[in-house]
Chains A and B, each alone.
Chain A
Amino acid sequence: MTSSRSIWIQSLLLLAILLVCVFPFYWMVTTSLKTQVVALESPPVWLFEPTLANYREALFDDGVLRTLMNSLIIAISTTALAILLGVPAAFALARFEFRGKKDLWFWFITNRMVSPIVLALPFFLIVRQLGMLDRHITLILIYLTFNLPIVIWICTDQFRGIPYDLDEAARIEGASQWIILRKICLPLAMPGVAVSGIFSFIFSWNELMFGLVLTRTTAKTAPAMAVSFMEGYNLPYGKIMATSTLIVIPVLIFALLASKQLVRGLTMGAVK
């Protein structure tokens, strides 16, 4: 095979990959710019006069803006909480020796595997009895079940990469472990902390089932809102796609920022 032909085949295949990955997003965005009449043309049209009416209607008349704000508040709070709790724990796992460390690891990894429905059932009953249905704090807390393990895992890995000599030097100077974490290790571990924050944000922002089961109106998240458009016979396709676009764009930006670490994070470090 001549090498120029193989280059051609390779570029065609690469273009195909690109196209298959991106096309659904293209279709989502263009559908969001169609009026209902255009969206219901059969077969679908590719050229039309775009309109922002769906966005205006979804955001302001149907309250998608409020649910986006809810999602934002919940995702940011749970991420902040996960980092606040997770970073010191990660530091301890990376630096201290103690019994039960192995079991703790096992527990963290298991949390990655547990189906959310397993927790959603008892959580619903408990939250209902405590009168905490439809509150932001409920989702902020329950999202810790997957955010905290991921933050702890990524940060432990990051702390392990920092030379221990630095700690040693500081300790001789009389610094406490807390000072060592804050003044020496944390600044060096910032990239890892940032990546774990991005992960935590993406997972919380994307979550649907807990949002569906544990919120009604006040704390309703954006994905739950998008799904609620799916009721009835004549579906507002343009509006559904406009809402979808608004939900997906921030995640895609974050994912591209963390693209180098995405695989590592998703496999909890099994694949470097």
Chain B
Amino acid sequence: MPGKVPRKTIFAFIGPSVIALAAIGIVPLLYAAWTSLHFYNLTKLKRVKFIGLENYWDVLTDSVFWEAMGRTFTLLSIALPLQLALGLGIALILHKPGLTLLKTLARLSLVLPMATTYAVVGLLGQVMFNQKFGVVNQFLSPFGGGNINWIGDPTNAFTMIIFWDVWQWTPFVALVLLAGLTMVPDEIEEAARLETKSWWTVLRYVQLPFLMPGLVAVLILRTADTLKLFDMVFTLTRGGPGSSTELISLMIQRVGFRAFDQGLASAQAIILLIITIILSQIYIRVFYKEV
């Protein structure tokens, strides 16, 4: 029911934001597009020259790029199902009636991992997973795993990344799903529980429809966030050992800032951006139909 407002007023309210966001969000992207069409190496700035789509061709045929992409999706395809399974379990426990105080405490504690600085998670990882004086190996030693080299071994390092991603983001999934569970009208849930004793039947036929929006949101946002993931992995392993934990963001950062090839890195970034925009489109289509 908003009324008619003169254009000038609309612009006065919304213009500053749009201009600011365009200046810092779009101009750099255009510049990246320009860079991506050039040979642009920070150590050879005198030799910047236009090379057309050559960088893009190099990226698309570069096995290192696709390996980093593959690694990123491997992380997602292992971590996300774990987060969904654990998150659903936690949400169901928190949804069960009774134990109000303990439930409140548990729910508050779930907030902590999500808010923790990614870089600090990485540093904590270094300390807790250290081979010699890490507490994780101390926990594992009664089970015969007291001397695991977490940081120096490719598979173990990747496992460690999965662990911290699951630690940090399972709470997010749990709270999203808990919000879905509380949307189920009480009388429907109670009626269903009178009909059947099986929690699975209630979950599948009564609660699941209410969980769907949350599940789709989790799916899309976790995908986007895994493509963005940088800070935690950088502080924990710097992408190593070798390139075993080099996710897509770390690879672009290495090419651009440690190998100084800004042209190639920009082409990689633009390709990543295109993937992201497709993802966002899906997100909008699903959630903001009414806007």
Binding site for B on A (CB under 8 A): 7, 10-11, 13-15, 17-18, 20-22, 24-25, 27-28, 31, 39-44, 85-86, 88-89, 91-98, 101-102, 104-107, 109-126, 141-142, 144-145, 148-149, 152, 164, 171, 177-178, 181, 202, 205-209, 212-213, 223, 226-227, 230, 235, 237, 240-241, 244, 247-248, 251-252, 254-256, 259, 262-263, 266-267, 269-272
Contact = CB atoms under 8 A, between A and B. Distances in A.
A263 B249 contact: no
Interface residues of B, number: 103
25 contacts: A13-B93, A14-B106, A89-B13, A92-B14, A94-B2, A102-B291, A104-B18, A109-B280, A113-B280, A113-B283, A114-B273, A115-B227, A115-B230, A115-B249, A117-B256, A117-B269, A123-B28, A125-B35, A141-B24, A148-B20, A152-B17, A177-B13, A208-B117, A226-B120, A252-B112
B14 A88 contact: yes
Given A18-B105, A105-B288, A255 B273 contact: no
Given A113-B280, A248-B117, A125 B31 contact: yes
B90 A17 contact: yes
Contact of A105 (B3, B28, B291): B291
Contacts of A213: 253, 257
Nearest to B146: A43
Interface string B101-127: 011011111111111111110011011
Given A97-B2, A121-B265, A145-B24, 10 more contacts: A21-B112, A88-B13, A88-B14, A115-B227, A115-B249, A117-B272, A164-B1, A206-B231, A208-B117, A248-B117
A106 B117 CA distance: 28
Contacts of B154: none
Contact of B29 (A96, A98, A118): A118
Interface in B14-44: 14, 16-18, 20-21, 24-25, 27-29, 31-32, 35
Contacts of B126: 230, 235, 240
B234 interface: yes
Nearest to A267: B217
A27 B175 contact: no
What's the dominant secondary structure at chain B's contact region? Answer: helix
A96 to B, nearest CB: 5
A21 B133 contact: no
Interface in B271-291: 272-273, 276-277, 279-281, 283-284, 287-288, 291
Contacts of A171: 3
A207 B272 CA distance: 20
Contacts of A205: 117
A114 B278 CA distance: 11
Contact of B269 (A85, A121, A248, A270): A121
Contact of A110 (B132, B228, B277): B277
B127 A241 contact: yes
Contacts of B124: 24, 27-28, 241, 244
A251 B115 contact: yes
Contact of A10 (B98, B117, B141, B283): B98
A115 B272 contact: yes
When A and B form their complex, which 7 residue pairs have the shortest distance between CB atoms, in order from nearest?
Answer: A255-B115, A92-B13, A89-B17, A122-B28, A21-B109, A208-B231, A122-B31
